[in-house]
Every structure is written in C-alpha cells, then in structure tokens.
C-alpha cells in the first residue's frame, strides 16, 4: 500500500474503468475517476471507494479535447499530486454495420475519441512523469482490444482500426520514453461483459459468441482490471511495449 501513488483512469464511470478504479483504490492508490457525462455512475464509484477508506477525485472531461485533458491533469496535480499511473480506458463504440454503411462523421468521432484522446492523455502524462523533464517516472497502460487483431468485420471496423492505432501508440511511445522512467504497456480484452456492447446495438453479444471462445465463457471487467494493475505496478518493472491478450484463448 502506497498512498503517494496517483492514478488517472479515463472512462472510469462504468465497466472496465470503474472496476480498475475500485481495484487501484483498494491497493492504496489515490484515484482520479474521469468521466464524460454520466455523473451519477461516476459518483457511485467514488462513493464506494470513499466508503472503503480510499481517496479519489471526480473530474468531468472530454478526453478528445486538448483543453479538457489539460484541465483534467491540472486538477489531479492540485488535488492528488503528480500522476504516477495513467490508464487510457475511455473509448466509444457505435452500432454494428458494414464498412460501406459507416459515415464520415462516425469514422471521425471514433478516431477522435479513441485515438486522439489517448494521444492527448499520454502527452500530458509524459510531461509529468519523464525523468528527462524532472519527473519521477511512471506507468501508462492503454486499454486496446482484441478487435485490433480480428478487425471486427461486419460489426465495427472503425473501432477495430482505432484500437490498432492504440497498439501502435503503445509500442512507439514505450520505445520513445523507455530511458525516461516511463513504462508503456497495453491490455487487449476480448469478449467482456460490459455495457459497451449495448452501444454496438447488441447487449447480449458476449453470450451469442461465447461458444467460439476456447474457454467457453465471456470475461469479467474485474479480470481485465487485475492485469492493468499488474502492468502499472512495480511487479511489472521490466515490462514495456508489451501486450497482454485477455480473450479466453481467442
């Protein structure tokens, strides 16, 4: 337990982000719960953490907007201290369809949130963590997706492509800052029981596809959170530019 550790978790009001926030707080981190619009859900996560004796702060911010990201990090600087862990979890998904039915506006929105948002958050984190810039080092964990490898044909190629970009960001940034005390890794969840599938128009998608998973079941957000915590911790001190596939064998 180390109360001096500060973690920013984007998109932490639900699903993997919420479970990660709870787990980090349980392990002694002061946690920033970032959310876009669902303040009720974010407050519920914060209340759970505080009732368990943890420390957290809620920050509403659209991570695809540079000024919002700066405000997010400055708020954490002021209220919790310098960030030591960034978990890039926030992402969006649109209704399942084939590529020819994906609008230009949809493509741009997916890339703006899922890709630009991750870049902007990494940029602010590196400024604070880099030993080259006077920081104490830190860890960045990007939440990618098994879709980056499968391509998600007939469902959401745009989302898959955005996660492929996150994979490239992970590898490139890891090499760029490896000598500056910053480790950058990623998890690639497969079919996980979260509310995101409803955003794709099929809330029961995991149950429909679980027989294709070698383990014959979908994953839980808590299982992804455990991997994120490990990658962020000193136990993973020699891991950078690495990926953990959490897809039940897919």
Which are the catalytic amino acids? 159
* Three-state helix/strand/coil letters over the chain: CCCCCEEEECCCCCHHHHHHHHHHHHCCCEEEEEECCCHHHHHHHHHHHHHCCCCEEEEECCCCCHHHHHHHHHHHHHHCCCCCEEEECCCCCCCCCCHHHCCHHHHHHHHHHHHHHHHHHHHHHHHHHCHHHCCCCEEEEEECCCHHHHCCCCCCHHHHHHHHHHHHHHHHHHHHHHHHCEEEEEEEECCEECCHHHHCCCCCHHHHHHHHCCCCCCEEHHHHHHHHHHHHCHHHCCCCCCEEEECCCC
């Amino acid at each position: 337990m180390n109360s001096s550790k500060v973690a920013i978790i984007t998109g932490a009001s639900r699903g993997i982000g919420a479970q990660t926030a709870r787990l980090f707080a349980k392990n002694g981190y002061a946690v920033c719960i970032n959310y876009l619009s669902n303040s009720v859900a974010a407050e519920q996560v914060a209340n759970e953490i505080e009732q368990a004796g943890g420390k957290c702060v809620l920050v509403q911010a659209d991570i695809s907007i540079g000024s919002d990201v700066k405000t997010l990090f400055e708020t954490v600087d002021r209220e919790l201290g310098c960030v030591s862990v960034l978990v890039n979890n926030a992402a969006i998904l649109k209704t399942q369809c084939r590529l020819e039915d994906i609008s230009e506006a949809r493509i741009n929105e997916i890339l703006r949130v899922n890709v630009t948002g991750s870049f902007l958050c990494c940029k602010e984190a590196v400024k604070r963590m880099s030993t080259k810039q006077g920081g104490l080092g830190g860890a960045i964990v990007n939440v990618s997706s098994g879709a980056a490898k499968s391509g998600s044909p007939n469902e959401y190629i745009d989302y898959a492509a955005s996660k492929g970009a996150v994979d490239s960001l992970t590898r490139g940034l890891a090499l760029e800052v490896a000598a500056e005390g910053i480790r950058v890794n990623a998890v690639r969840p497969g079919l996980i029981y979260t509310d995101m599938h409803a955003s794709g128009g099929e809330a029961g998608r995991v149950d429909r596809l679980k027989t294709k998973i070698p383990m014959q079941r979908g994953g839980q957000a808590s299982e992804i959170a455990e991997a994120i915590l490990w990658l962020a911790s000193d136990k993973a001190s020699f891991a950078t530019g690495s990926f953990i596939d959490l897809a039940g064998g897919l």
